[in-house]
């Protein structure tokens, strides 16, 4: 029964992949080798599509692989399998957290955690910025420092940021406008 197998395999990924969507990648590669359900070449397509469609990358990848193995029901089963451990674990953690809320120990732990998470998110932002606004590849080819910067995008970045600060609209507004401008200005 392929659906049961799919569910089980993705349940294991959801249970053991720690650190977000991209952390599931090595598991998917191993799944390809150990089961032969899909060729390793599918993984590149999967990443490209997962990155370029809305939704958390980890879930997109699970749906894509599930679909390629057993159609739409496969996609659904794989996704549910990957999500189930999260639901169980997070609920258990939330319950124990409620018990300890307000305790000095937990408070102090979060005192250290909050700046750290801010730093982690900043690093994630920088890595997105690197890909989306700078041209490291081109700079390495030509050696001209100016080639490192994509001025059109940098200027647009400043404009969007100012607009976000000023107008306080829902993020989807800026995303939609950016998609449109991306096409019009050929980013």
CB of 17 to other proteins, least distance (A): 6
CB of 71 to other proteins, least distance (A): 8
CB of 41 to other proteins, least distance (A): 14
Which CB sits closer to other proteins, 41 or 143?
41
Alpha-carbon distance of 110 to 112, in angstroms, equals: 5
Residue with tokens 């490192």: 148
Phi, then psi, of 101 in degrees rounded to 5: -55, 140
CB of 35 to other proteins, least distance (A): 19
Compute CA distances 41 → 33, 53, 66, 116, whole Å: 11, 19, 15, 36
Q: Mind giving me the DSSP string for 77-136?
A: HHHHHHHHHHHHHHHHHHHHHHHHTT-HHHHHHHHHHHHHHHHHHHHHHHHHHHHHHB-H
Q: How far is CA 24 from the centre of its chain?
A: 11
In DSSP terms, 134 is beta-bridged to 149
CB of 140 to other proteins, least distance (A): 18
Which CB sits closer to other proteins, 143 or 176?
176
Alpha-carbon distance of 50 to 24, in angstroms, equals: 13
Which CB sits closer to other proteins, 101 or 143?
101
Collapsed DSSP state (helix, strand, coil) of residue 54: coil
Which CB sits closer to other proteins, 143 or 186?
186
Which CB sits closer to other proteins, 4 or 122?
122
Looking at residue 19, the DSSP 8-state letter turns out to be S
């Amino acid at each position: 029964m392929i659906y049961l197998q799919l569910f089980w395999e993705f349940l294991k990924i959801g249970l053991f992949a720690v650190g977000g969507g991209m952390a599931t990648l090595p598991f998917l590669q191993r799944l390809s080798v150990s089961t032969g359900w899909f060729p390793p070449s599918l993984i590149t397509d999967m990443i490209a599509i997962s990155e370029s469609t809305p939704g958390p990358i980890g879930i997109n990848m699970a749906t894509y692989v599930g679909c390629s193995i057993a159609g739409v029901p496969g996609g659904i089963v794989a996704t549910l399998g990957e999500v189930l451990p999260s639901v169980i674990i997070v609920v258990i953690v939330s319950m124990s957290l409620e018990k300890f809320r307000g305790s000095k120990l937990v408070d102090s732990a979060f005192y250290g955690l909050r700046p750290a998470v801010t730093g982690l998110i900043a690093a994630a932002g920088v890595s997105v910025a690197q890909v989306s606004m700078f041209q490291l590849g081109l700079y390495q080819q030509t050696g001209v420092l100016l080639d490192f910067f994509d001025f059109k995008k940098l200027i647009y970045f400043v404009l969007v940021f100012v607009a976000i600060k000023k107008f306080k609209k829902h993020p989807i507004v800026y995303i939609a406008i950016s998609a449109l401008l991306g096409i019009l200005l050929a980013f």
